[in-house]
Structure 1
Amino acid sequence: MTARITSALFVAQLTRRVFADGSFAAVERKGAEAAGAIFIVTRTRMGEVKLFSPAIQALAGDDGERRFMAEIIADDATLSLRWEREARFDPDFWVVEIETDAPERYLLIAED
């Protein structure tokens, strides 16, 4: 099993890559530096919002790479409710928002 980079380093690398491609990224919530769960929100130019949450263990792989599972979110109110539930479960999570039509360019998407 390969060691996983810290959450803080993953977020820093992600935001730099997005900015380098001329797109926008923002850390909306800063979590635990070493191992906080990372959630990625994407917004396309057409207004579609997707949430990429950490992949479940069965889909995570053993190569140390972070994998994400996608879900379409109806609106910002639904997203806010999700953050409230997550904070009750684990207050050390990260939220990063990126504007891109191709999130797979930046994220490893787990296949179910």
Structure 2
Amino acid sequence: MRLKSHIFVASLIRSVFVRGGYAAVLRKGAEEAGAIFIRQRGRSGYETLYAPAPQNFFDDEGDTSRRFEVRLRGAGAEDVERALSSEIRFDPDCWIVELELDDCGNLFDVVDDRG
């Protein structure tokens, strides 16, 4: 059974604060299984947008982990806003979480699509 979205988000926010960063829920989605988008802002002023990874990045049918892909990297705020607006139109039950932290480290799993 996959961890419910609201529990994953609460855990993520707590972990960011422990690291000395700031986190906030910009949009609250479906508590059980809403898709989660993570908007990371760094000191450089640029942003990275993480989106749920496609199913082909999961090991098997029973894999219940949450994995993310980089949708935008080093983008301006306007580009991220446009991408998120499109996602909201497609899935109004999605979550948007904003992190102000330079390094997300191992806060969540990010797939590598270069290999």
Give the TM-score taking structure 2 as reference length.
Answer: 0.87
Residue 88 (structure 1) aligns with: 89
Higher alpha-carbon deviation: 83-92 or 10-19: 83-92
Distance 2:42 2:75 in 1: 13
Distance 1:67 1:5 in 2: 12
Q: Which has the higher helix share?
A: 1
Contact 1:60 1:66 in 2 (8 A): no
Higher alpha-carbon deviation: 85-94 or 61-70: 61-70
Residue 64 (structure 1) aligns with: 64
After superposition, what is the alpha-carbon deviation per residue over 1:30-84, rounded to whole angstroms, capped at 9, x for unaligned?
A: 0000000000011112222000100011013343111111121532222222122
Residue 36 (structure 2) aligns with: 38
Unaligned runs of 5+ in 2: none
Unaligned runs of 5+ in 1: none
Compute the RMSD of aligned alpha carbons: 1.4
Q: How does 1:45-56 map to 2 (within 5 A)?
A: 45-56=43-54
Distance 2:42 2:96 in 1: 17
Give the TM-score taking structure 1 as reference length.
Answer: 0.89
Q: Which runs of 4+ in 1 moved over 4 A?
A: none
